[in-house]
Structure 1
Amino acid sequence: MEYLFGPMVNDPEFIQTLERNISEGRAFCVREQEGLAGSPLQGGVLISTKEAPKYKIGWLAVSSQARNKGVATALLQYVLQLINTPAEVSVITFGEDVPDGKPARELYKKFGFVPQEQILLNGPQDGSRQLFRLALS
């Protein structure tokens, strides 16, 4: 995942953000072996609720071994059912010029997210980013 998101394991800012989201109940994951504590992670998601009813998915990632097994779908379904409606959910994901970002783009479209403006700030893989929004009623 790091080639798309940049270095995370040794990034103090990412670790601090992850720990804060966990302690505030805004981090969710799917683990191997039916979710037993300590089992390897298959995927995770962080969601910001501080501007509710405008929510933001800050990060959603799935390990390469768990791809195409419904992990991202399960994570997104789970966090969306936690949101009180009406609401708006946004996420910044990969632009069309990032081939490995196509599954993420398709996942958000499958859930009804609508692509918005292209963001010119390039990510770690030198590709663009794009804002997606979902209106929940």
Structure 2
Amino acid sequence: MVESILKGEVMLATADDIPNWMKLVDVVKENFPGLQKESYLVTLRKNIARKTALCFKENGNIVGILLFSPNQNRLSCVAVHPDYRRLGIASKLIEKMLVLLQPNREITVTTFREGDEKGVAPRKLYKKFGFEEAELLTEFGYPVQRFVLRPDNLDCILGVKHSEVKLVPYSELYNLLFAHESKKIAEALGDNVFQIYHVGSTAIVGAIAKPLLDISVCVRDINAIDVHAMKTLGYECMGEYGIPGRCYFVKRKNEDISTHHVHCFTDGNENLTNQLLFREYLNTHPEAVREYNKLKLSLFEKYPKERHKYTECKTDFIMNIVQLAQKGR
């Protein structure tokens, strides 16, 4: 199923946004125990100056807000207007924060405790991003709980059942996850690695995609790949898996949910070249991305439980784009 695709966008708040921001704070103030508007306003101005205040605007109106602290690596507060909840706005705000924080160390947030009605939605949201429950605390006289996001937990946003199709909007987090995983792959495969590329739809800005990472590794010797080292990272070697000259690896969780696909090729392999041509063409032709998205949605409606058929029916479009890219070289 495709998650909500919003027209608005996340941006850094400016001083001009303060009146609109504070209107939203008035609407949601019951969710902020101990809130004192005067001190909050001082904090907001400081965050705007430090570029750590994010807002989501829909039709020019602020409908979502988030403050964070890079020094403490902490999500300070997040809120969405009641009329705009369950549309993915809080997720978009958190995604942007994570990109700006570059989460190579623990990130923390406090929220309502389990059993508190106000905590149902935020606790579910934080767990979606890999935050884990930590110690119980009291803030401003109110019982809360600390949640912690550890660097290796962020890839919990990835995962699709082998036989199913799941499509989600583009996320900047994919580049962050690629950087994290490619570093581990480079260390595992050592000097045999020539270059590592982020490919597939998660590497295309604006493309809806299955939430799994496709990574291509250009190696010096396809026969010298350290399969054992990849296994220690959680990958299963699938051999060529229908594509001559490839060594293919899959990482899964819960046995049937794929999170990462790694394609190893030697330099000059046609499949690797085509992957890169397709990625670069779509990243410079947004109209082609929109066309690709429409195709994916139509195929998803036809084949939600038939991944093979869904993939097969994209072939003509992909080869068309590759040919256009070749002509433009």
Normalised-by-shorter TM-score class: 0.7 to 0.9
Kindly indicate whether residue 142 of structure 2 is the aligned counterpart of residue 116 of structure 1: no
Which residue number corresponds to residue 31 of structure 1?
57
Question: CA shift at 1:130, angstroms?
Answer: 0.5
Shift of 1:78: 0.9
TM-score of the superposition, structure 2-length normalised? 0.36
Q: Report the counterpart of residue 93 of structure 1 in structure 2.
A: 111
Q: What is the RMSD computed on CA atoms of the aligned residues?
A: 1.8
Higher helix share: 2
Matched, 1:17 2:43: yes
The corresponding residue for 2:82 is 64
Give identity over the alignment, percent: 30
Q: Aligned to 1:68, what secondary structure does the other structure show?
A: coil
Whether contact under 8 Å (2:55, 2:62) holds in the other structure is: yes
1:36 equivalent in structure 2? none
CA 1:58–1:121: 2 relative to 1, 3 Å: closer
**2:34, 2:140 within 8 Å by CA — same for their partners in 1?**
no
Question: Following superposition, which runs of at least 4 residues in structure 1 exceed 6 angstroms of deviation?
Answer: none
User: Against the structure 1 CA distance between its residues 14 and 136, is the aligned structure 2 distance closer, same or farther, given a 3 Å change threshold?
Assistant: same
Matched, 1:3 2:58: no
- CA deviations 1:27-57 (Å, max 9, x no partner) are 0000111xxxxx3211111110124xxx001
In the superposition, the TM-score normalised over structure 1's length comes to 0.83
Residues 11 and 43 of structure 1: CA distance in aligned 2, closer, same or farther (over 3 Å): same
The answer for the alignment partner of 1:107 in structure 2 is 125
Matched, 1:129 2:144: yes
Find the counterpart in structure 1 of residue 185 from structure 2: none
**Which of 36, 61, 64 in structure 2 is aligned with 1:43?**
64
Number of aligned residue pairs: give it.
125
Contact 2:135 2:145 in 1 (8 A): yes
Give the 3-state SS of the residue equivalent to 1:112 in structure 2: coil
In terms of Rg, which structure is larger?
2
Task: Tell whether the 8 Å contact from 1:43 to 1:62 is kept in structure 2 after alignment.
Answer: yes
Offset of residue 81 of structure 1: 1.4
Deviation for aligned residue 1:104: 0.3
Shift of 1:67: 0.5
For the residue of structure 2 that corresponds to 1:17, the secondary structure is: helix
| Alpha-carbon distance between aligned partners in 2 of 1:106 and 1:122, rounded to the nearest angstrom | 23
Structure 1: which 5+ residue stretches go unaligned?
34-38
